[in-house]
């Protein structure tokens, strides 16, 4: 069975908005480059930069606890360290995250967005060799997976609930088009070829259990549809998407082919 890559995204700051990618170069055993490179940790929380251990996503400002994060669009340039934040297309901040002053301006803005008391600011978390995906709490192998979504599964879910759902609610790296709904549920332990001969082979390792972050509409920043609840009611599970580990080196771009295991050959 063949599908194609619809779109590719990274999320430079955990919980903040996606950046679409024209192409991405992947390495074996590595996550999307610059994905969840930073996070905004709660002050006086369990995150400690000096004695770092992975902590719960609740220790960070994320959509689960701060729906307005979806209302500020973030663009990060890894080459220059510049982060740009816009509101409805209007610039509200440009800061150099490689400088102390730039980091201070960035957390000052998000102290307002999260409505922290005067003087309190989020901590801009960054750890060498670490990314702040939820999967990072399950060891470095899972931290280095990429996330895939079958757009047809979202459409089938939309039809059942009678609501439109922006696929970006599910905050995946790779969105796949052209497949039957829910075929990804048979992929665990199997290999896919993403992006033809120049692309990469991946092995699907786990399904993605969703949380209340998906309740927030990415365009209105309103918590409006109880997605996890509706998954549970319609399917008896809370799954949308899979995680896969990259087994080879290659490049992906929207429009590239996706070769998936044939259901008929399933064990």
Please give the residues from 85 up to 104 whose contact with other proteins meets the rule CB under 8 A. Answer: 85, 87-88, 90, 92-93
Strand partners, 148: 174, 242
Q: How far is the CB of 72 from other proteins (least distance, A)?
A: 5
Q: Hey, is 114 helix, strand or coil?
A: coil
Q: How far is residue 264's CA from residue 262's CA, in Å, rounded to a whole number?
A: 5
22 or 115: CB nearest other proteins: 115
* Minimum distance of other proteins from residue 111's CB (angstroms): 9
Task: By CB under 8 A, name the one of 20, 78, 229, 251 that touches other proteins.
Answer: 229
Count of residues interacting with other proteins (CB under 8 A):
35
Considering only residues 6 through 35, tell me which ones interact with other proteins, judged by CB under 8 A. Answer: none
Stretches 33-41, 67-75, 123-131, 188-196: which one binds other proteins (CB under 8 A)? Answer: 67-75
Q: Which residues contact 242 (CB under 8 A, 6 or more apart)?
A: 147, 148, 184, 187, 188, 204, 205, 206, 207, 208
CA angle 249, 250, 252 (to 5 degrees): 145
> Per CB under 8 A, does 197 bind other proteins?
no
In total, the chain counts a number of residues equal to 267
Rounded to a whole number of angstroms, the minimum distance from the CB of residue 129 to other proteins is 26
Does 228 interact with other proteins (rule: CB under 8 A)?
A: yes
Note whether 80 and 96 are within 8 A (CB): yes
The answer to whether 224 contacts other proteins (rule: CB under 8 A) is yes
Near other proteins in 148-187, by CB under 8 A: none
Residues 193, 176: Cα–Cα separation, whole Å: 12
Token pair for residue 45?
């929380």
- In the chain, the N- to C-terminal Cα span, in Å, equals 16
Binder of other proteins out of 27, 120, 164, 233 (CB under 8 A): 233
Task: Report, in Å, the least distance between residue 260 CB and other proteins.
Answer: 28
Give DSSP secondary structure letters for 85-106: EEETTEEEEEEETTSHHHHHHH
The answer to whether residues 204 and 190 touch, using CB atoms and an 8 Å cutoff, is: yes
Q: Does 113 bind other proteins (CB under 8 A)?
A: yes
Residues lying near other proteins in the complex (CB under 8 A) are found at 56, 58, 64-65, 68, 71-72, 85, 87-88, 90, 92-93, 109, 112-113, 115, 209-213, 215, 220-221, 223-229, 232-233, 238
């Amino acid at each position: 069975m063949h599908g194609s890559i619809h779109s590719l995204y990274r999320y430079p700051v955990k919980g903040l908005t996606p950046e679409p990618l024209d192409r991405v170069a992947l390495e074996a055993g590595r996550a999307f480059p610059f994905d969840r490179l930073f996070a905004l940790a709660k002050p006086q929380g369990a995150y400690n930069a000096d004695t770092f251990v992975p902590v719960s996503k609740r220790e960070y400002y994320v959509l689960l606890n701060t729906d307005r994060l979806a209302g500020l669009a973030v663009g990060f340039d890894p080459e220059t360290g510049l982060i740009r934040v816009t509101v409805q297309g209007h610039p509200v901040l440009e800061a150099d995250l490689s400088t102390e002053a730039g980091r201070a301006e960035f957390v000052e803005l998000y102290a307002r967005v999260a409505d922290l008391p005067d003087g309190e600011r989020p901590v801009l978390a960054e750890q060498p060799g670490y990314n702040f995906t939820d999967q990072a709490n399950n060891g470095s192998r899972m931290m280095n997976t990429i996330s895939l979504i079958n757009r047809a599964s979202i459409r089938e879910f939309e039809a059942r609930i009678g609501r439109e759902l922006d696929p970006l609610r599910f905050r995946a790296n790779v969105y796949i088009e052209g497949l039957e709904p829910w075929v990804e549920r048979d992929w665990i332990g199997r290999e896919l070829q993403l992006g033809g001969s120049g692309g990469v082979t991946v092995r699907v390792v786990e399904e993605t259990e969703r949380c209340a972050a998906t309740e927030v509409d990415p365009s209105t920043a309103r918590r409006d549809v109880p997605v996890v609840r509706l998954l549970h009611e319609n399917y008896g599970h809370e799954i949308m998407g899979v995680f896969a580990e990259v087994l080879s080196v290659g490049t992906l771009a929207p429009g590239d082919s996706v070769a998936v295991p044939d259901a008929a050959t399933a064990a």
